[in-house]
Amino acid sequence: MINLETPEYIKNLTSGINNLAKTVLRPISRKYDEEEHTYPKELDMFRGMQILGRPKKKKKEGEENKSGSEGKPKKGVNLSTVAIIEEMCWGDAGLLLSIPNAGLGNAAIAAVATDEQMERFGKMWAAMAITEPGAGSDSGSITTTAVLDGDEWVLNGEKIFVTCAERSDCVVVWATVDKKAGKAGIKSFVVEKGRPGFKLEHLEHKLGIRASDTGTFVLDNCRIPKDNILGSPEVKTGTEGFKGVMKTFDNTRPLVASMATGIARAAVDYTREKIEESGIKLDYSKNPNNVSSIEKEFYLMEAHLEAMRLLTWRAAWMADNELFNNTEASMSKAKAGRYATLITQKACELLGPIGYTRDELPEKWMRDSKIMDIFEGTGQIQHLIVARNVLEMSSKELK
């Protein structure tokens, strides 16, 4: 039987995080929206806090499972993470993306790094560089190259729209080790800041999540150690190697979905407050066809918000239970990314003038939500992934 009750440990966890979001993030939300590219020093209090879950260490050959809990994750690390992120983004999504050591690159490292690499890079603030001027939604079109030269990889290329570009300690760079191999040749590499030939070209001025810095990197004969490659350097037949790299997205797409859910919830909560202040009493016992248009629109907002959360939690729960969640991760990202935009837009419409003034936050939430439908794979790409999985068709059969 499906139990839709929120687990008690999640309730206790989110209660404390919501207080942080309310007292730390909300009060400075507008400030750093206005002061783009300024690092929010208030976030130094989060240094050392583990936002992204860490994978269990691989059991060495011959090692016994002393706990007797093989295959049973500790109280849902992924589920806890998406719940935390929703609360933080209820406070401010751009500030969540600016929290030290919680970059998308950290999720990539957590997904595929060896135990030794986790020791080296696990405590660093890691950005992730995938998108290129000629490679956006199609990650398989990446042209940045990595050539092995003795004990070093030599990287050349350009990466754009990198989140936490200036503030991070290192960057997970996607590059091809063999162009002829196509997607199978795509690998990810950890490039530490300060490496010769690794230059931050410029920072972007953005529509939303302005508290987070986004930039462009140029790699010009950038040399990194041989063991900075994440996963195996072997180019496997077919697309198996690329699937290993893409596994990162199965971890990060539910995270983005929870970000979108947090922003949308902020808009729903604020809208409810203003509706009730206007004298309208929300009555869920009424037939939805016998209520005012404002009430009906609001009930739809709430329904979509709940669907966003349940899809996201489903994908996270599957990851905690070591189940293949590629379809569910894309479902959660597609639903949440799209409907966060629609919910925040509708909130601004229902709120009237206060929905668009810079004295209040709804117009900011509308701007912040748009990127949730774009980065970590656009909504269109998520629908394509889901369709391929449901129809059991390959990328060649269904484009």
What does the pLDDT look like over 111-126, one tens digit per residue? 788 899 999 998 899 9
CATH architecture for residues 126-230: Beta Barrel (2.40)
Q: Which fold has domain 8-56+73-121?
A: Butyryl-Coa Dehydrogenase, subunit A; domain 1 (1.10.540)
Rounded CA separation 52/85 (Å): 9
Residue 394 CB neighbour total at 10 angstroms? 10
Phi-psi region of 48 (alpha: psi -120 to 50; beta: other; left: phi over 0): left
pLDDT for residue 316: 94
Would you state the structure tokens that stand for residue 28, as one six-digit string? 């400075």
* pLDDT-based confidence at residue 65 (cuts at 50, 70, 90): very low
- Section 201-213 average pLDDT: 97
Would you state the structure tokens that stand for residue 316, as one six-digit string? 């996270």
What does the pLDDT look like over 232-261, one tens digit per residue? 788 765 555 566 566 667 888 999 999 999
Which of 158, 376, 392, 397 is catalytic? The answer is: 376
Asked whether the predicted pLDDT for residue 381 surpasses 80, the reply is yes
- Give Cβ neighbours of residue 107 (< 8 Å, ≥ 6 apart): 52, 128, 248, 251, 252, 255
Asked whether the predicted pLDDT for residue 69 surpasses 80, the reply is no
- Contact predicate 188/174, CB 8 Å: yes
Answer whether 0.85 is exceeded by the pTM.
Answer: yes
Rounded CA separation 268/364 (Å): 14
pLDDT for residue 249: 79
Residue boundaries of the structural domains of the chain: 8-56+73-121, 126-230, 240-391
* pLDDT-based confidence at residue 110 (cuts at 50, 70, 90): confident
Catalytic annotation present for 376 = yes
Asked whether the predicted pLDDT for residue 305 surpasses 90, the reply is yes
| CATH class of the domain whose range is 240-391 | mainly alpha
What does the pLDDT look like over 138-164, one tens digit per residue? 777 899 999 999 999 999 999 999 999
- Section 215-228 average pLDDT: 97
Rounded CA separation 311/59 (Å): 31
